[in-house]
Chain A
Amino acid sequence: MKTIALQQFRHDADIAAADGDRRAFIRTALGGYYGVRGATMASYANYPAARAKAAAIKWDALENLGEHLEAFESKLLDRGVKVHWATDAASARGYVLDILHRREAKLVIKSKTMTSEEIHLNDAMEQAGYDVVESDLGELIVQLNKQAPYHFVFPCMHLKRGEIKSIFDKAYGESGSDDPENLTMIARRVLRQQYLRADVGISGANFGVAETGTISITENEGNSRLTCAMPRVHVVLMGIEKIVPRLADLALLQPMLGTAGTGQLMTCYNSLYLGPKRGGEIDGPEEMHVVLLDNGRTRILADSELRDALRCIRCGACLNVCPIFKNVGGHTYGVTYQGPIGAVIEPHLRTVQEFGHLSAASSLCGACTETCPVKIDIHHHLLRNRKKAAKSKRGERAIFGAFTFLMRRPALLRWVGRAAGVIDRLARPLQGSALDPFKAWRQSRTLPSPAPSSFRDYWKSRGRR
């Protein structure tokens, strides 16, 4: 069955894969990443062991997730943080809209949070009449361009400087040179006033520490720090799988996230948020909320193999090394979390019927598994998703049924092999015409002709010599 999502995927993949110029641009943009990341990994005393330890920490977190979530909540409540448990996207959106309404907010400033993309929070807030500004440079650019993020760590990596300049020209008036420095400074100037004016700041969370009730946010620009410092209300959106057991775990996970994500040993700001402004402190929000989102995650947890994928720390490394991502691009996936890890979890966060095809968008080369800083067996899960999907495919079953039939009958196989060569020669004039069953295949590839003689015949003639 071809779902709408699959048809869209094929359509977008064709266009993206044919755009050689853009593909070369993406490859160049990622080129620097490989070098920097390699050097940083090499500076670790023992990177393979660090990776194993990071994997083990995330394992501990999942195996006792219930206890950790309760401990986490309890610590937050003790410090006056309000905690909302949201089973689905609608519940999380409703809670945030309630806060905005109660605080009579006008302007909402956001630092990068993929969880908010997942629950379509911006649409909901805009429809309710609030002004919403993304503060991360990449997110701001795709927001102005009315696009979804292309990559969940590098949201606008598909856009060239000239394109970004015209986006800024349209939004803010003539922006001058298309130099990245100039464009960045324009965003800096524009957003400065927004931090001071915004009523509510919304952020995500990279880690939630159960032991101390601490939100950890990893960033480079300082936009998240400003989003969580200036407005009177701070709302954190966090998937329940972001829990880690101990504060000390961050000493490893923060550098691992930086290293795998961008090649930095530590990103510029790794900040800890523990509550609203306390007595004796001179600034910070009056109110802090944490929304704990399920939205399909417990479904993944219930699968004794797939729960492995909930260890993901969203570093984006698997996208950066994926040959499919580099060829079809981030938008083609049509989901919040692109690339190999997205292809593993999105069919389960949404529906396998609609998004099962994403697991086929892989060459199974295993580069994702090899690069994952928490050792998720990504390509194993892709293969397993595929296996599940194949059971329900009638066409594929018929083809393999015929193949099995043939392979069990050597005489028939020999005959079919000889016939194939003859048919191929006779049918040559029909190639590419409407009668050609391989027409679609030949549009972008060549179909090799059958060999003039079979291996069996070759072996026989060789034996006689």
Chain B
Amino acid sequence: MSDSHAAQDTRGGTGERAAILARVREALTVPTSIHVQRDRHLAYAEHANHAEESDAVGGLLPPVGASLQSRIDRFQERSESLRSNFLTAECTSTAAGVLGRIATDSGWKRVAVHNAPLLDQIAPHLPCDRLQIGENYDREALEQCDAGITVCDALIAQTGSVLLTATSAGGRALSVLPPHHVVIATAAQLLPDLPSAFALLASTYGKSWPSFATIITGPSRTGDIERILVLGAHGPKQLTVILINQNQEQ
């Protein structure tokens, strides 16, 4: 199937690749005009005045407090404006109870889960059927599920986002095909900001990348019709994040 000319390794090849690279290099032999360069110098100068290290973007984005509680507060605040459902639980069994109530209230018949130790402590206690997603799972069946439950790589307080990958969270479809996506996370996974999330990706997967990663910020939405917000355009209509915080103070 993949023996056609379309599937050639083009490394060191000729033809269009060589032509485009030659044009790029030829174009760049002419130095960038002073007029537009001025902006560039301005760019570096302005930036240097405000950030401590030249590579940092952390000091530019919305600020997040250092303590766990301020991260939780920021995540909560962002969840409200994104219309995500953010809940905390003291341990896995309270998390199972919290999720069980959602299952009952929403009338879930079947939920989809992937293999993860944290989910194994929660999913069996839910008052509905389970579809365990694995190699060659039934896509139609997944589409019929009322919810997809996953773990994640991290939560990002700054933006109220969930970071997950194909490796950590049961592939590409589980977190986007069912109408309700539930994320189970631990307090240790709650990162302050986007730069730390990208740093985590690089340190976790730098040697062997999964084929897919995504930063999820609220339930699926569109404003395409008259710029009016509608949730659940093609992805989940609801996003629930349950944070297990074992050191929670009462």
The reply to whether A63 and B215 contact each other, CB–CB distance below 8 Å, is no
Q: Smallest CB–CB gap between A217 and chain B, Å?
A: 9
With A53-B47, A255-B194, A377-B39 in contact, do A69 and B21 touch (Cβ < 8 Å)?
Answer: yes
Are B61 and A48 neighbours in the complex by a CB distance under 8 Å? no
| Cα of A83 to Cα of B62 in the assembled complex, Å | 37
Q: Which of A55, A79, A184, A266 contacts B222 (CB 8 A)?
A: A184
Instruction: State whether A266 and B215 are in contact (beta carbons under 8 Å apart), knowing that A85-B10, A252-B61 are contacts in the complex.
Output: yes
Interface 0/1 of A271-302, CB less than 8 Å to B: 11111111011111001110010100010011
When A230-B173, A255-B194 are in contact, do A77 and B9 touch as well, CB less than 8 Å?
yes
- Whether the Cβ atoms of B217 and A269 lie closer than 8 Å is yes
Bin chain A's interface residue count. Answer: 35 or more
- Docked complex Cα distance between A156 and B223 (Å): 10
The contact of A45 among B62, B210, B216, by CB within 8 Å, is B62
Report Cα–Cα, A253/B210, bound state, in Å: 22
Task: Provide the bound-state CA to CA distance between A267 and B235, in Å.
Answer: 13
Stretch binding the partner chain, chosen from A304-312, A342-350, A386-394, A451-459: A304-312
Using an 8 Å CB-CB cutoff, how does the interface string of B203-227 with A read, 1 for contact, 0 for none? 0000001111111111111111111
Chain B contact residue count (CB 8 A cutoff): 98
Complex Cα distance A161/B167, Å?
41
The answer to whether A180 touches B228, judged by C-beta atoms less than 8 angstroms apart, is yes
> What's the nearest-Cβ distance from chain A to residue B59, in Å?
6
Report the bound CA distance from A79 to B143 in whole Å: 29
Instruction: Judge whether B36 is part of the interface by a CB distance below 8 angstroms.
Output: yes
A220 touches B55 (CB 8 A): no
Assess whether A229 is in contact with B173, with CB atoms less than 8 Å apart.
Answer: yes
Of the stretches A133-141, A356-364, A439-447, the one at the interface is A133-141
Tell me which of A98, A223, A254, A282 contacts B6 (CB under 8 A). Answer: A98
**Pairwise interchain contact A221-B233, C-beta atoms closer than 8 A:** yes
Q: How far is the CA of A55 from the CA of B42 in the complex (A)?
A: 10
* A166 in contact (CB, < 8 A): no
In the complex, whether A130 has a CB less than 8 A from a CB of chain B is no
Contact B230 A268 (CB under 8 A): no
The answer to whether B234 touches A135, judged by C-beta atoms less than 8 angstroms apart, is yes
Residue of A nearest to B233 (CB): A221
CA distance A465 to B197 in the complex (A): 77
Interface centre among B2, B47, B50 (most CB of A within 10 A): B47
Which chain A residue lies CB-closest to B140? Answer: A196
- Contact assessment for A298 and B198 in the assembled complex, using a CB-CB cutoff below 8 Å: no
Q: Which chain B residues (2-28) contact chain A, with CB distance < 8 Å? A: 2, 4-11, 15-17, 19-21, 23-28
A251 touching B57 in the complex, CB below 8 Å, given contacts A102-B1, A180-B225, A283-B173: yes
A191 at the interface (CB under 8 A from B): yes
Q: Which of B7, B50, B176 contacts A82 (CB 8 A)?
A: B7
What distance in Å separates the Cβ of A345 from its nearest Cβ neighbour in chain B?
A: 14
**B102: interface (CB < 8 Å):** no
Chain A residues whose C-beta falls within 8 Å of the C-beta of B21 in the assembled complex? 66, 69-70
**Contact string, A248-273, partner B, CB cutoff 8 A, digits 1/0?**
10111011000000101111111111
- Tell me the bound Cα distance from A340 to B19 in angstroms: 30
Query: Once bound together, how far apart are the Cα atoms of A164 and B228, in whole Å?
Result: 13
Whether the pair B198, A52 counts as a contact (CB closer than 8 A) is no
User: Is B31 part of the binding interface, using a Cβ–Cβ cutoff of 8 Å?
Assistant: yes
**In the bound complex, do residue A304 and residue B57 qualify as a contact, i.e. CB atoms below 8 Å apart?**
no
Are B61 and A248 in contact, with the CB atoms below 8 A? no
Q: Is the CB of A45 within 8 A of B59?
A: yes
Mask: chain B, 149-169; 1 = CB below 8 Å from A; 0 = not:
000000000010100001100
Q: Are B214 and A270 in contact (CB under 8 A)?
A: yes
CB contact between B159 and one of A137, A255, A275, A308 (< 8 Å): that residue: A255
Contact partner, B60, options A49, A74, A228, A229, Cβ 8 Å: A49
Inter-subunit contact A380/B35 (CB<8 Å): yes
Quick check: B27 and A183 within 8 Å, CB to CB? no
- Is residue B49 within 8 Å, beta carbon to beta carbon, of the partner chain? yes
Taking a contact as CB atoms under 8 Å apart, the answer to whether A55 and B143 are in contact is: no
Counting CB contacts under 8 A, is B199 at the interface?
yes
> What B residues does A230 contact at CB under 8 A?
139, 173
State which of B8, B177, B217 has its C-beta within 8 Å of the C-beta of A267. Answer: B217
The closest CB in chain B to the CB of A49 belongs to B50
Cβ of B249 within 8 Å of any chain A Cβ, yes or no, is no
The answer to whether the Cβ of A155 comes within 8 Å of any Cβ in the partner chain is yes
Nearest CB in chain B to that of A139: its residue: B224
- Bound Cα distance A98, B2 (Å): 11
By the criterion CB–CB under 8 Å, are A77 and B43 in contact? no
B46 beta carbon closer than 8 Å to chain A = yes
Indicate if the CB atoms of A84 and B233 lie closer than 8 Å: no
Whole-angstrom CA separation of A151 from B235 in the bound complex: 23
Contact among A138, A248, A282, A304 for B199, CB-based, below 8 A = A248
Q: Which of these, B11, B19, B35, B223, contacts A305 with CB under 8 Å?
A: B35
Among the listed stretches B65-73, B85-93, B130-138, B240-248, which one makes contact with chain A, having 4 or more residues with CB under 8 Å of it? B130-138
A92 vs B137: C-alpha distance when bound (angstroms):
34
Closest to A221 in B: B233
CA of A222 to CA of B237, assembled, Å: 10
Interface centre among B1, B226, B228 (most CB of A within 10 A): B226
Interface assignment of A65: CB less than 8 Å from any CB of chain B: yes
List the B side residues contacting A283 at CB < 8 Å: 137, 166, 171-173
A86-116 at interface with B (beta carbon < 8 Å): 86-87, 91, 95, 98-99, 102-103
Of the A-B pairs whose beta carbons lie under 8 Å apart in the complex, a sample of 21, sorted by A's number, is: A45-B61, A45-B63, A84-B6, A161-B226, A214-B209, A221-B221, A221-B233, A223-B233, A223-B235, A226-B177, A226-B235, A228-B212, A229-B173, A251-B61, A252-B60, A266-B215, A273-B211, A301-B24, A301-B27, A305-B35, A308-B36
- Given contacts A79-B211, A272-B212, A281-B167, 18 further A-B pairs with CB under 8 A are A46-B60, A52-B46, A69-B20, A85-B17, A87-B19, A157-B226, A184-B232, A220-B222, A221-B234, A230-B173, A248-B198, A262-B223, A270-B215, A282-B137, A298-B20, A304-B31, A375-B43, A377-B35
9 shortest interchain CB distances as A-B pairs: A222-B235, A221-B233, A229-B172, A138-B224, A302-B27, A298-B23, A50-B60, A180-B225, A49-B50
